[in-house]
Chain A
Amino acid sequence: MATVTATKAASEDKELLISGSEAVAESLTLADIDVVTAYPIRPYDTVMQAIAKKIANGQLIAEYIVAEGEHSQFEIVKHASTVGARVFCGSSGVGWMYAMECLVVTPPLRVPMVCLVGNRALDDPGAFGVEHNDALVVRDLGWLLCWIDTSQEALDTTLIAYRVAEDRRIFLPLAISADGAFLTHSQAITMVPPKEKVDRYLPRYDRGDLLLHPDNPITVAPQANEDWVIEIRRQNDEAMKRAVGVIEEAYADFRRVFGRGPENPWFEEYMADDAEIILVGMGTISLPIKVAIREMRAKGKKVGLIRLRWFRPFPFERLAKALSGAQAIGVIDRDYSFGSPFHSGVVANEIRASLYNADKRPPLLSFICGLGGREVTLEDVNKAVDMCYAAAKSGKSDAKTHWLGVRE
């Protein structure tokens, strides 16, 4: 029965050959955003180019503002959101850093802006390619963070993002990360749902009691000092905790309305059920890993992948459960965290921490690979898996971080 519904639902969709950025723009049109601000930086700017075309062609009616820098870009939508507008923004690499002050203030202001981060290496040296350090810089601040892998996921996640961020129980900003070039610029067949279905899924943004309007003359963000700041931080913390349930609700409803989407919102499990070795990564790194896994499976090696979708809130309990059965875990970070424990990447240390309370803690190996957009090769993946098997045999983590594919 469920299958029949899903097929019927899918048949109302139209198929488009579009990139990840264009898929986000399709969703923004369906979500009828009100204010959008642009500023050029590769690779995220492709989404703004797509939006500009939609506005020029009358497919989307919104205030479209080209700002004079990312700081203003994010401030403009922040303020538009406080008067009740549904907003969109985005950036990449150092552009995201230029907006940093404005990224910091949105969670405590409870502004549900949705952004696209086209992940890009930070300067210097200049590089267009992907690294996850840009989006990760806000990981402690109350931003909801997720990573996507395909154009379809880009489209679906954008709709889910508004549903989650604008939920009154949450009201937090949300950044969708898409690997620069590999996803922002790569086209794939994508199912675009009809507007009626989106309207059924996504309610209007209601700022409610926080609306800044002469009919609701409130004072927003006064100077609080030590009297109240810790309570305000605690409210942010509660909102982030509530996001767990709201995200699960949003995915369940998405499947009901659109007839597609994952049952587990938090991470994709690829041949992980019976895996001896589980690799973990985020974003488009899944592609070379999946190819390598298929080859290894053919040779009898039981390897699987967990591709993390949500980084904040971090699904630590579910991950611990999914990972603790493996003989060894290999985390491949497309980011760095210099001077951190074991000199690992960010994801590896989050997973180490997640496993701390688990009854069974398999050896965990940490890898850094593909920085600056360098290709992650099958050889890199095979090497990581071999090392994981060695650790599985010895039963010990090697307390090191291995950089793959680096010229020494």
Chain B
Amino acid sequence: MAETTFGNATQVLEPFRGIKKVTLEEYFTSGHRTCQGCESALVMKLMVKAAGPRTIVLGSTGCMYVANTTYYTTPWVVPWMHTQLGSSGSAALGTAAGLKALMRKGKMKAEPINVIAFCGDGGGADMGLGAISATLTHKEYNSLILLYDNESYANTDIQLSGLTPYGAHTTFSPPGKVHRLIHKRWKKNVAGLMAAGHPECRYVATVCASYAVEMMNKVRRALTIGGPTFIHSLDPCPKGWDYDPMLSHELGELAIETGIFPLYEVEDGVVKYYGKTKAIVEGRPRKPVREYLLKQGRFAHFTEEDLAYFQEKVDQQWDQWEIPGVVPFRKLDAAQAALNVK
């Protein structure tokens, strides 16, 4: 195959039109030992179900590595390989580049193969941010980086990451007698960061497995649009968030309904809200954040003051952000108002 004619061909993966149209085949099956109620395991299952059999999955260190692939068992029906904690971006890029080189030089049968690299919130938004950022600028290589965000380093005993919510109790941020809150950093706006910072990345989305069909369809869109893409998935974690495992699905819904985690996709620079987030943008009232926070043991030490602060920060993201829930620059009229005060 001549070098100049080899483009970014992708597989054809039409969106599933409803739950009954979803394919039956599973590519993430038994053989793992994730916790009861683990939403991240569900994300893995849905992710690769959407991608289909001609897929290579790279998994960076984290609970979806350690709990899923214990030697002599594997839940992965598709080829799977471990990559280092901060290497999901490099794993996607290297795998895609290797396949492309071999195909365009005629050393391997040419066909579009999905390349998906996943990372946790620590591996993705902390350690691996630089590598993901680099990969999102390499538009000639097709790949999807999926960040499963259970809001802590959940495999190593629940330590706080850059995506752990404000004030949460983790083993690195235990509430004490003198300091009620050890972790006072606000969660990184990671999908917005990826979308705003990489103008040639054609597709960035946020998803939640509580909305399984939509989640799978975002994966399909990410795999078919061409070039590098990024998906941020919010995954309730019974162990790290300290709640009854039967509430995983409900907590995912509440994260959206309270407006804490917005669902949107950015395709070729155009923001499109979907699901219950769309209703919020169109004016439906958000549920108070306390309904979400107080269902979780990690916020059990919160006072009314903490709840009010959390609510205020979430309100800001909808009332004051230039693109609500996506881009935190203040709206022009707000900036103008600030100038007028001077």
Contact = CB atoms under 8 A, between A and B. Distances in A.
Contact of A71 (B79, B87, B138): B87
Considering residues A81, A83, A228, which has the most beta carbons from chain B within 10 angstroms of its beta carbon?
A83
Interface in A190-244: 204, 212-214, 216-225, 227-228
Given A79-B91, A213-B79, A223 B102 contact: no
Most chain B CB within a 10 A radius of its CB, from A77, A219, A221, A228: A219
B133 interface: yes
B164 interface: no
A35 B90 CA distance: 13
B71 A35 contact: no
Given A68-B134, A214-B78, A222-B71, A84 B108 contact: yes
Interface string A47-88: 000000000000001110101110110011111111111010
Contacts of B72: 227
A212 B117 CA distance: 14
A65 B71 contact: no
A101 interface: yes
Contact of A214 (B71, B105, B113): B113
A72 B131 contact: yes
Contact of B80 (A76, A85, A105, A219): A219
Contact of A223 (B69, B84, B98, B100): B69
Contacts of B153: none
A223 B93 contact: no
Contacts of A224: 71
Contacts of A76: 90, 93-94, 97
Given A35-B94, A75-B131, A212-B79, A227 B71 contact: yes
Interface string A161-185: 0000000000000000000000000
State the majority secondary structure of interface residues on B: mixed
Contacts of B76: 217, 219
B233 interface: no
Given A102-B84, A214-B113, A85 B101 contact: yes
A218 B77 CA distance: 8
Contacts of B79: 212-214, 216-220
A205 to B, nearest CB: 9
Contact of A77 (B78, B84, B94, B105): B94
A32 B106 CA distance: 12
Contacts of A87: 98
Nearest to A33: B101
A75 B60 CA distance: 12
Contacts of B82: 220-222
A228 to B, nearest CB: 5
A34 interface: yes
A222 B84 CA distance: 12
B54 interface: yes
Contacts of B101: 34-35, 62-63, 80, 85
A363 B34 CA distance: 61
A63 B140 CA distance: 10
B74 interface: yes
B70 A222 contact: yes
Contacts of B304: none
Interface in B71-125: 71-72, 74, 76-84, 86-87, 89-91, 93-95, 97-102, 104-105, 107-108, 113
Interface residues of A, number: 43
Contacts of B102: 34, 83-85
A223 B81 CA distance: 11
Interface in B19-73: 53-56, 58, 65-66, 69-72
B3 interface: yes
Nearest to B98: A80
A221 B81 contact: yes
B56 A213 contact: yes
B130 interface: yes
A214 B53 contact: yes
A171 B157 CA distance: 36
Contact of B81 (A69, A77, A85, A212): A212
Contacts of A219: 69, 74, 76, 79-81
A208 to B, nearest CB: 14
Given A85-B101, A222-B69, A79 B83 contact: yes
A83 B56 contact: yes
B56 A212 contact: yes
A82 B81 contact: yes
B140 to A, nearest CB: 9
Contacts of A216: 79
Contacts of B113: 213-214
B157 to A, nearest CB: 16
B84 A105 contact: yes
A214 B131 contact: no
Contacts of B130: 68-69, 72
Most buried by A among B69, B72, B102, B104: B102
A114 to B, nearest CB: 15
Contacts of B53: 214
Contacts of B133: 68
Contacts of A220: 79-82
Contacts of A35: 94, 97-98, 101
A53 B77 CA distance: 42
B228 to A, nearest CB: 12
Most buried by B among A32, A63, A84: A63
Interface string B157-168: 000000000000
Interface in A342-365: none
B227 to A, nearest CB: 15
A61 B224 CA distance: 26
B55 to A, nearest CB: 7
A223 B3 CA distance: 39
22 contacts: A34-B98, A63-B97, A63-B101, A65-B93, A71-B86, A71-B90, A75-B94, A75-B131, A80-B97, A80-B101, A82-B81, A82-B95, A102-B87, A213-B113, A214-B53, A216-B79, A219-B69, A219-B76, A221-B81, A221-B82, A222-B71, A227-B71
Kindly list the 5 A-B residue pairs having the minimum CB-CB distance in the complex, ordered from nearest. A79-B94, A80-B98, A75-B90, A222-B69, A76-B94
Given A65-B93, A68-B131, A72-B89, 19 more contacts: A32-B105, A35-B101, A61-B3, A63-B97, A63-B100, A69-B130, A76-B94, A77-B94, A80-B98, A83-B102, A85-B97, A204-B107, A212-B79, A212-B95, A214-B113, A219-B74, A219-B79, A222-B71, A225-B71
Interface of B: 3, 53-56, 58, 65-66, 69-72, 74, 76-84, 86-87, 89-91, 93-95, 97-102, 104-105, 107-108, 113, 130-131, 133-134, 138
